[in-house]
Amino acid sequence: MRAGLALIATAALASSASAAEAIDPAIAVQFATPHQLVEVAKGRRLNLLCMGSGERTVLFDAGGSDWSVVWALVQPAVAKKARACAYDRAGLGHSDPSPDPRSPFAIVEDAHALIAAAIKGPVVLVGHSLGGFHAKLHAALYPDEVAALVLVDPAEERWWERTRAATAERFGPTLTARSELIDQNFMSRLTARYRECAAAARPAGLDPKSVTYPRCTDPPRPQLGDTIAAERERLQAKAAYQEAQASEIANSVYANREADPAYAGLFRPGLLGDKPVIVLTNSRFDPDDPLDQLGNFQGVMLHRQTAALSRRGIQRSVPGTGHYIELEAPEAVIASINEALAMLGGAPGQGEKVR
């Protein structure tokens, strides 16, 4: 899978008995249950789960087709040093659906309203995949609300425009063109598939035992245990969830390129000043597959460019991980969040700055 589109494609994770038992059952129940429902628009609420206390608040946003449960191995540990909050985007998890297209801008506006209503800024924003792009966009549009960013294998805007020349120089124009065309074809097929899923879910939802259900949902995450798995199955089958998922993909930073000129003018080196920005990149690829090599090169390059939005930006590849770093190496995400908190407190952070 290409670097850009792998960030929103779903893939099964390796399972094991120890992974399935890794989460505290009491914590699992917390994440599988609705909590504070915060009104962000008239008659529309987002689910917010907060734990811990401290001078700083850390706010988590999940990746595409996902919701706050994905942070269940990270958030409780962060709550030992700060107030840690995770929310569900509109229509996902336990949040109300929105009648509007779920573009990155619309998602940022919801998060902006959530912070104003229930959290107060500035916050440390932590985002995975599409949630990572939303966090970066939020920091650019509402800089006073964001103290620092920790981006976990984030999605990236204008990924071919930003990497095409360097990729062609290293891998040659033919392989580069082939990779770009694969991306375009995959995105078209993915968008069409999720539109079909949303249509199939109307009006009664999906049958989890049907052949359609696994094509339209994330696979089980054994690290999160049985309680969360059961709630994921219940919610992902709902029509509202499928509608929200389809809208997010169709209007995502990958599928809707109409915002590219705005992004090109917005995201420039130094944009975020001295805000701590830590970008974590997955490191799993097949070194014998030229397309996989290209994808890894492209992903690292994009993430270094995002880190360079800040004079205190760090890009770090996490050994042995795929896209879901927060599930495969939660300790790396926890350490990076604590590092960002330390940087805000004046303590020196670890890792090499991107210049």
Q: What is the pLDDT of residues 207-229, one digit of tens each?
A: 999 999 999 998 889 999 999 99
pTM: 0.92
Of 235, 239, 243, the closest CA to residue 218 belongs to 235
Worst-scoring range by mean pLDDT, 11-15, 72-76, 188-192, 263-267?
11-15
Kindly state the DSSP code that residue 203 receives in the 8-state scheme: T
Domain that holds residue 40: 5-344
269-302 pLDDT, tens digit per residue, is 999 999 999 999 999 999 999 999 999 999 999 9
Q: Domains in the chain: how many in total?
A: 1
352: in domain: no
95-118 pLDDT, tens digit per residue, is 999 999 999 999 999 999 999 999
107-155 pLDDT, tens digit per residue, is 999 999 999 999 987 999 999 999 999 999 999 999 999 999 999 999 9
Query: What does the pLDDT read at residue 71?
Result: 98
How far apart (Å, rounded) are the C-alpha atoms in residues 225 and 147? 33
350: in domain: no
Query: What does the pLDDT read at residue 1?
Result: 38
91: in domain: yes
Query: What does the pLDDT read at residue 222?
Result: 92
161: in domain: yes
Of 146, 84, 80, the closest CA to residue 111 belongs to 146
300: in domain: yes
User: Could you tell me the pLDDT band of residue 4, with boundaries at 50, 70 and 90?
Assistant: very low
85-95 pLDDT, tens digit per residue, is 999 999 999 99
pLDDT above 90 as % of the chain: 88
The neighbouring-strand residues paired with 44 are: 41
Mean pLDDT of the chain: 91
Q: What is the CA radius of gyration of the chain?
A: 19
Query: What does the pLDDT read at residue 354?
Result: 38
The CATH number of whichever domain residue 195 belongs to comes to 3.40.50.1820
Strand order across the 83-87 sheet? 36-41, 44-51, 83-87, 57-61, 123-128, 146-152, 276-282, 312-318
On the question of pLDDT at 256 being above 50, the answer is yes
How far apart (Å, rounded) are the C-alpha atoms in residues 8 and 108? 18
355: in domain: no
User: Could you tell me the pLDDT band of residue 183, with boundaries at 50, 70 and 90?
Assistant: very high
Better pLDDT: 263 or 347: 263
Query: What does the pLDDT read at residue 147?
Result: 98
The neighbouring-strand residues paired with 36 are: 48
Q: Which residues contact 87 (CB under 8 A, 6 or more apart)?
A: 38, 46, 47, 48, 49, 59, 60, 61, 68, 95, 111, 114
Query: What does the pLDDT read at residue 5?
Result: 52
Query: What does the pLDDT read at residue 12?
Result: 35
184-193 pLDDT, tens digit per residue, is 999 999 999 9
Q: CB count, 10 Å around CB of 34?
A: 13
Q: What is the pLDDT averaged over residues 26-55? A: 96
Q: Which residues contact 80 (CB under 8 A, 6 or more apart)?
A: 52
Which run of H or of E encompasses 39?
A: strand 36-41
Better pLDDT: 32 or 349: 32
70-81 pLDDT, tens digit per residue, is 999 999 999 999
228: in domain: yes
349: in domain: no
